[in-house]
Amino acid sequence: MSSSLNKVTDTSTRHFRFFDFMLAATCILIVCSNIIGASKVAEIAGFTFGAGVIFFPLSYVLGDVLTEVYGYQRARRAIWAGFFAAAFAAFMAWFITEMPPAPGWNENLGGGLSRQDSFAMNFGQAPRIVLASVLAIWLGEFANAFVMAKMKVLSKGKALYQRTIGSTIVGQAVDSAVFYPVAFWGIWSTELILTVMATNYALKVLWEVLLTPVTYKVIAVLKRAEGVDVYDEHTNFTPFSIK
Q: How far apart (Å, rounded) are the C-alpha atoms in residues 32 and 37?
A: 7
pLDDT digits (tens, 9 = 90+) for 8-21: 888 878 889 999 99
Q: How do beta strands 41-44 and 47-50 pair?
A: antiparallel
Q: Between these two residues, 38 and 112, which has the higher pLDDT value?
A: 112
Q: How far apart (Å, rounded) are the C-alpha atoms in residues 147 and 154?
A: 10
pLDDT band at 40 (very low <50, low <70, confident <90, very high): confident
pLDDT digits (tens, 9 = 90+) for 133-158: 889 989 999 999 999 999 999 999 99
φ, ψ for residue 74, nearest 5 deg:
-75, -35
Q: How far apart (Å, rounded) are the C-alpha atoms in residues 165 and 206?
A: 9
Q: Would the pLDDT of 4 be above 80?
A: no
Rounded mean pLDDT of 191-206?
A: 88
Q: Which domains does the chain have, with CATH numbers?
A: 6-10+18-38+48-100+116-227 (1.10.1760)
CB 4, CB 225: distance < 8 Å: no
pTM score: 0.86
Q: Would the pLDDT of 229 be above 90?
A: yes
pLDDT digits (tens, 9 = 90+) for 77-126: 999 999 999 889 888 888 998 899 998 898 888 777 899 988 887 777 66
User: Counting runs of H as helices and runs of E as strands, what totals does the chain give?
Assistant: 7, 4
pLDDT band at 38 (very low <50, low <70, confident <90, very high): low
Q: Between these two residues, 204 and 156, which has the higher pLDDT value?
A: 156
Task: Give the model's pLDDT for residue 86.
Answer: 87
Which helix (H) or strand (E) segment is 110 a member of?
none
Q: How far apart (Å, rounded) are the C-alpha atoms in residues 114 and 14?
A: 53
Task: Give the model's pLDDT for residue 221.
Answer: 95
Q: Which residue, among 24, 4, 5, 39, has the nearest Cα to 188 in the 3D structure?
A: 39
Given its phi and psi angles, is residue 218 left (phi above 0), alpha (psi -120 to 50 degrees) or beta?
alpha
The CB-side HSE value for 152 (13 A sphere, CA atoms) comes to 30
For the chain, first and last CA: distance in Å?
26
